Structure 1
Amino acid sequence: MPPTTANRRRTVVSPHVARLVDFAEPSPADDCLDLSCGPGPLPDALGPLVRHVTAVDGTPLSPPGAGPDGRTPTVLFGRSRLHVGALDTPTVRARATALPYRSAAFTLVTSRFSLSGLGDPAQVLREMARVCRPGGRLVIAEVVRPSGYGREHDRLERLRDPAHPGTPTLARLVELLSEAGARVRGIERFNVERPLEPWLAAAPDQNGVERVRHALVDEIEGGPRSGARPRVISGELWFTQTWAHLTARV
């Protein structure tokens, strides 16, 4: 992909979305399906770069008290006003585990931070592989468990969202893609430091957010380590997540 592509999009999407778009290497010949929990920024970022993009919202019905889409919007992680890109691509509501599309309908199938909220991740990936044409690509972005952390890391996630199934390891994502019939061809793993409050504001269960704050402050003061590496920047709590991008051929 020409290096100018992401730069053109960077004015309307966050740097993190631009990075994923570069990783996906979209082509003007691609027919793309994006599968997400709620409306997300990726379809609009991919739209000008592919032949056609179909955006599917596979979010199950939200429980009472949940946020409007049950997830954190894409933001620029700064301390100023939050910026969320415009979302213009029409969205189709469908079950992620039984997509209403014929087999081999798309050449590029993407999902960003959504697998755990769409149903059984193994079945979701099988459906993504089914609707992807032989030789096409699956591209997923997910939060993965930091190396060396398990129970304590998942405890923080479940304080924020009691229904959270646990953060997968990178090895588990590779295994799930392989079981779905896809061959992993590229992996990008990196750490992202972000402010805590926007993440907590989108929590499905607001009852646990104060406990998350207390747990991270306790960690700063020498308490149990979660892998979140919290610190205070200009009076605000920040924490670190490990993100992974994976691309696989079908």
Structure 2
Amino acid sequence: MTLHTPYNETIVDQHTRQAEGYARLTQGMIASDRRAGLRAFIGLTAQDQVLDVACGPGSLALDLAPHAARVTGYDITPAMLDQARAAQARLGIDNVEWILGDAAGLPFPDGAFDVVGSSAAFHHFEQPAFVLAEMARVCRPGGRVVVLDVTPDADKATAYDRMERLRDPSHGHAHTIAEFEALGRDAGLGEARTVTNLTAPMPYAAVIETSFPETCTRDQLLAMMRDDAASGEDRLGFRAQIQDCAVMVTYPMSMIAWTKP
């Protein structure tokens, strides 16, 4: 599929501006024990060929690379791949390559990879069902398809999406766990294994510092989140709270894995 669609242009525009700040924000955000837990959850082996779809600044690819045979990072935004290459150079990892392209049209043959993953990206996809079907296609039979993403509670998902679109116009929809499970069944992947953890609370000011809203200001976003924290009702789905006068938010992040039949 072509890279040059109006939706993709929004993705690339936002993520080009976000690339440096997002890479800085997320670098080292996952604790070492949770990285080991992710590798165990995937069942990663030293013989695995891995594809990281919509790899962004390369966090997942570079976490997995020392424990796999080879990793391919694939993303639509050149600036994100630049951040990934820079991180790769700093870490001295040599078994990763980076490819530019659209997740809705993976340029790889059927069954090319043992593990096909995507982290913090599905909420950006215009056609998430098509992307998951593509991920399943390029995974070998018996291989693992893995999605890591925020999964808001079903009763908070609409409010969560509304707030995220204000912050980041490239946000589409944050899927619930039940929605991901349905996507997997539709893609022929069968039943999913799922583990959900909460991120450590992080300052919302740091999150919006990496954002480029178009219909409101960063100060307005912070004020909305502060109001939600003060209400104690979690109306927006971010578990917002005030700590030492700072607005802190917490994300429910899920690991969802399928073994391809």
1:200 aligns with 208
Structure 2: segments with no counterpart, 5+ residues: 1-27, 85-89
1:218 aligns with 227
Cα 1:150–1:13 shift into 2, 3 Å: closer
The CA deviation string for residues 157-201 of structure 1, in whole angstroms up to 9 with x for no partner, is 122023422221110011111111112341001222222123212
2:178 aligns with 171
2:251 aligns with 241
| CA displacement at 1:41 relative to structure 2 | 1.0
In the alignment, is the contact (CA less than 8 A) between 2:73 and 2:97 conserved in 1?
yes
The total of aligned residue pairs comes to: 220
1:78 aligns with none
The DSSP-based 3-state class of the residue aligned with 2:140 is strand
* Candidates 241, 246, 249, aligned match of 1:231: 241
In 1, Cα distance between the equivalents of 2:29 and 2:223?
A: 32
1:209 aligns with 218
- Residue 29 (structure 1) aligned with residue 20 (structure 2): no
1:53 aligns with 71
The CA deviation string for residues 116-138 of structure 1, in whole angstroms up to 9 with x for no partner, is 33441111111100000011100
User: Aligned letter for 1:238?
Assistant: M
- Cα RMSD (Å) of the superposition? 2.7
Matches within 5 A, 1:80-159: 86=91, 89-159=96-166
1:77 aligns with none
The CA deviation string for residues 193-240 of structure 1, in whole angstroms up to 9 with x for no partner, is 222123212224264422221111111332862222211223321012
In 2, Cα distance between the equivalents of 1:166 and 1:111?
A: 15
| CA displacement at 1:37 relative to structure 2 | 4.8
In the alignment, is the contact (CA less than 8 A) between 1:184 and 1:246 conserved in 2?
no
The CA deviation string for residues 17-50 of structure 1, in whole angstroms up to 9 with x for no partner, is 4443332221112111111252221111111211
In the alignment, is the contact (CA less than 8 A) between 2:229 and 2:247 conserved in 1?
no
2:30 aligns with 14
The CA deviation string for residues 98-126 of structure 1, in whole angstroms up to 9 with x for no partner, is 11111000110010011233441111111
In 1, Cα distance between the equivalents of 2:116 and 2:98?
A: 15
In 1, Cα distance between the equivalents of 2:161 and 2:92?
A: 31
Instruction: Decide which structure has greater helix share.
Output: 2
The DSSP-based 3-state class of the residue aligned with 2:251 is strand
In the alignment, is the contact (CA less than 8 A) between 1:39 and 1:57 conserved in 2?
no
Which shifted more, 135-144 or 152-161? Answer: 152-161
Give me the TM-score of the superposition, normalised by structure 2: 0.75
The DSSP-based 3-state class of the residue aligned with 2:253 is strand
2:15 aligns with none
In 2, Cα distance between the equivalents of 1:57 and 1:14?
A: 21
Which shifted more, 218-227 or 150-159? Answer: 218-227
Cα 1:243–1:25 shift into 2, 3 Å: same
Structure 1: segments with no counterpart, 5+ residues: 1-11, 62-67, 74-84
Which shifted more, 135-144 or 17-26? Answer: 17-26
The DSSP-based 3-state class of the residue aligned with 2:250 is strand
1:64 aligns with none
2:25 aligns with none
In the alignment, is the contact (CA less than 8 A) between 1:160 and 1:204 conserved in 2?
yes
